[in-house]
Amino acid sequence: MELVIGTKRWSTWSLRPWLVLRKAGVEFTETLVNLRQGEATQGQIAPHSPFGQVPVLKDGDLLIWDSLAICEYVAERFPDARLWPEEPAARAQARAASALMHSGFSALRAACPMVLDRAPAPIEVTDALAGDLKRLADLWDLMLDRHGGPFLAGSWSIADAFFTPVASRLRTYELALTDFGGGPAADAYGARLLEDADFLVWEAAAQAAPAEA
- Contacting residues for 92 by C-beta, under 8 A, at least 6 apart: none
The C-alpha atoms of residue 144 and residue 146 are separated, in whole angstroms, by 6
Q: How far is the CB of 19 from ligand GSH (least distance, A)?
A: 14
Cα(149)–Cα(144) distance, rounded to whole angstroms? 5
**Identity of the residue, 54 or 83, whose beta carbon is nearer to ligand GSH in the bound complex:** 54
Smallest distance, ligand GSH to C-beta of residue 3, A: 11
Whichever of 11 and 157 has its CB closer to ligand GSH, that residue is 11
Work out how close the CB of 63 gets to ligand GSH at its nearest, in angstroms, rounded to a whole number.
12
Q: Exposed (0-12), middle (13-18) or buried (19+): which is 121, by Cβ within 10 Å?
A: exposed
SS3 state of residue 59: strand
Give ∠ CA 150-152-158 in degrees, rounded to 5. 115
Q: What amino acid is encoded at 213 in this protein?
A: A
Q: In the complex, which residues of this chain contact ligand GSH (CB under 6 A)?
A: 6, 11, 13, 35, 41-42, 52-55, 66-68
- Between 31 and 53, whose beta carbon lies closer to ligand GSH? 53
Closest separation in Å from C-beta 33 to ligand GSH: 7
Q: Which is nearer to ligand GSH, 163 or 180 (CB)?
A: 163
Angle of helix 158-172 relative to helix 184-193, nearest 10 degrees, comes to: 100
